Amino acid sequence: MAPGSAQALVTIMQGCNNFCSFCVVPYVGGREYSRPPAEIVAEVQEFLAAGGQEVTLLGQNVNSYGRGSQSLSPCPGCSADSPTCRG
Ligand code: SF4
């Protein structure tokens, strides 16, 4: 985040597990890793408190956020028993 900026780009996960034949990301970026939700929320809150207005969440595969982690729910507040949860 640039100081004084109204827009922030916040990385929520990195890496990739897909190993597409033409791509180096899994080799150079490693396997998927999701940042802890509390860490992301704290970063966004700090940005908003400083006057920020727009946040874009980034990741190599944002749809994979929280997968492969025992400690993360892909959607905070969601019950794992929810019939609509695809996490
Ligand atoms: S980053 Fe995209 S293109 Fe590369 S391996 Fe992952 S899914 Fe495939």
The predicted structure's pLDDT at residue 80: 54
DSSP result, 35-54: PPHHHHHHHHHHHHHTT--E
From atom 4 of ligand 1, which residue's Cα is the shortest distance away? Answer: 23
| pLDDT at residue number 78 | 58
Amino acid making up residue 28: V
Q: Which residue has the tokens 């492969």?
A: 68
| Beta-ladder partners of 33 | 14
Mean pLDDT for each consecutive 10-residue tract of the chain (87 residues)? 82 94 93 94 95 95 81 54 57
* Distance in angstroms (rounded) separating the CA atoms of residues 58 and 54: 13
CB contact set of 49 (below 8 Å; sequence gap of 6+):
none
Q: How far is the CA of 15 from the centre of ligand 1 (A)?
A: 9
